[in-house]
Chain A
C-alpha cells in the first residue's frame, strides 16, 4: 500500500516556541492531505484539510494563525504549531488521500507526539 511518512516522530519543546511537523507521501501524489490531533483515549479530531497549492480549510474551533499549514507540493504538507503551550501537547497525525477511479482511501502517517513543557 501507499506510504506516508511523518517527521519528527516525537518532539519536546519549551512553551512559546514553534514546532514544524512534516508529512510526506512517499510513493504517490496526494492532492489532499489531512491533519488530525488525538487526545488520549479519544478519537481522531480533524483539524484541517490541506489542498496542494491553495489555502487550508480549517475545522471550526481550530485557530488558523496558531496551526499554520502549508501544502507546497503534491508530496509534502507541513503543520507548524506556533507559540506552543502545554495544552497543545497531543498526538498529531497526518493522512494523504490517494484518489483512484471509484475509490478514495486515506493513508496515515505514523504520527508525531508533541510535548510542550
Chain B
C-alpha cells in the first residue's frame, strides 16, 4: 500500500532550527509537497520537490532523496507564528496527492 510517515508532534524554541522528516512509499512519484496548516484553516503551499536535493525559500528549505523515499522540511529562525501543523504529501503516478498525517510543531519562547 501507499503510506507517508512523519512525526506526530515536535517542540522547538523560538529562534532555533527544526527539521521535520517525512518518509514515503507510493506507487509512482511525481513530486513531494510540504504544506503548512494553522488550526481551523486550509493548508497553504510551502514547497515542491521533484528532483533530489535541497530547495531553499527564505527561512524554509526542503530536501528530497528519491532513492531513499525521504524528505525533510527545515525551518530556520523559528518564530511563534510558525506554530502549526506541517503536512507532507506525495503525488503518485495518477497525479493524486497522498497525505501524511501531519506534524504538529509547537514553538516555545
Q: Which residues does A use to contact B, with CB under 8 Å?
A: 1, 34, 42-44, 46, 49, 91, 93, 97, 103-111, 113
B-to-A contact residues, CB < 8 Å: 30-31, 33, 35, 40-45, 48, 50, 87, 91, 95-97, 99-102
CB-based nearest B residue for A102 = B50
A-chain residues with CB within 8 Å of residue B35 when the two chains form the complex: 108
**B42–A106 contact, CB under 8 A?**
no
By the criterion CB–CB under 8 Å, are A46 and B96 in contact?
yes
Rounded to whole angstroms, the CA-CA distance of A42 and B100 in the bound complex is: 10
Contact B31 A49 (CB under 8 A): no
**Is the CB–CB distance between A44 and B48 below 8 Å?**
no
Q: Is the interface of A mostly helix, strand, loop or mixed?
A: strand
Which of B31, B33, B42, B96 is the one whose CB lies under 8 Å from A93?
B42
Are A105 and B87 closer than 8 Å at their CB atoms?
no
